[in-house]
Amino acid sequence: MQLLRSVLFTTCLFIGTLLFAVAVLSLGWLPNKKLYVVARSWARTHLWLLKTFCGLTHTVEGRENIPPGAHVSMWKHSSAWETIAQAALFPPQAWVLKRELMWIPLVGWAVRCLKPIAIDRGAGAAAVSQVIAQGTQRLREGMWILIFPEGTRVAVGETRKYGVSGALLASRAGCKIVPVAHNAGYYWPRRGWVKKPGVIRVVIGPPIEAAGRDPRELNEEVRAWIEYQIAAIAPTK
């Protein structure tokens, strides 16, 4: 039964994403922050569908840690869930993502309208420079920057090296880093169709002042906080 519910939700997610993509494309002339309202509606709609079909909801701790202004948020990436939830939980953001996503008909074109930072993950230093240059511009425009520092989804209990681009951007731009941990990977695995019922816990950490600090030191502080929180909120069997 849970498999059927999960398939129904996934079907709605695909169809709904296409419909919202058409809406974004038709409204692409709007200022970015107003256009982001569509992205937020997409996220909230599908979080509601996830709860309705699969019995999977979430709680958020630390909303008060989201400071005014535009900053960098760095999230654990262990599920597809956080790619939906971030648009509902945070202010308008420019997402750092792989450029191949821009090639998806309709959906990729709609994402492009929301001014992401689309990088070639194999470009090394050039990709980091792109994040810094475009990220600085987005911050000046009042947009947050969302980064998954591990670069790709990792299975529950695993971790990858945290890329330095987010910490370097925050240090040079003189903004804050807000780390975000969650346990979505236990309920919506990186691979697999079944979404388990339950309550995902999201923990938003205290903002970290980054101006002028050593990016490697910043990166390690973010990594240590996120991985500690991931262990602390792991569901008990």
Question: Going by CATH, does the domain composed of 2-232 fall within 3.40.50?
Answer: no
pLDDT at 190: 83
Counting residues of the chain whose pLDDT is more than 90, the rounded percentage is: 84
Confidence of residue 192 (pLDDT cuts 50, 70, 90): confident
Confidence of residue 191 (pLDDT cuts 50, 70, 90): confident
How far, in Å, CA of 15 to CA of 196, rounded? 21
Residue 222, pLDDT above cutoff 70: yes
Indicate the Cα dihedral angle 75, 77, 82, 86, nearest 10°.
30
Counting residues of the chain whose pLDDT is more than 70, the rounded percentage is: 100
pLDDT at 237: 61
The tens digit of pLDDT for each residue in 136-149 reads 999 999 999 999 99
Residue 157, pLDDT above cutoff 70: yes
3-state secondary structure of 126: helix
Comparison of pLDDT for 123 and 189, the residue scoring more: 189
Mean predicted confidence (pLDDT) in 181-209: 94
Asked if 118 contacts 99 with a C-beta cutoff of 8 angstroms, the reply is yes
Comparison of pLDDT for 123 and 226, the residue scoring more: 226
The tens digit of pLDDT for each residue in 100-120 reads 998 999 999 999 999 999 998
Name the average pLDDT for the chain.
94
Mean predicted confidence (pLDDT) in 179-199: 93
Which residues are CB-neighbours of 20 under 8 A, at least 6 positions away?
A: 38, 39, 41, 42, 45, 110
Confidence of residue 197 (pLDDT cuts 50, 70, 90): very high
Backbone angles phi, psi at 74, to 5 degrees: -120, 120
Q: Where are the alpha helices (DSSP H) in the chain?
A: 2-26, 32-54, 81-89, 107-113, 125-140, 165-173, 215-232
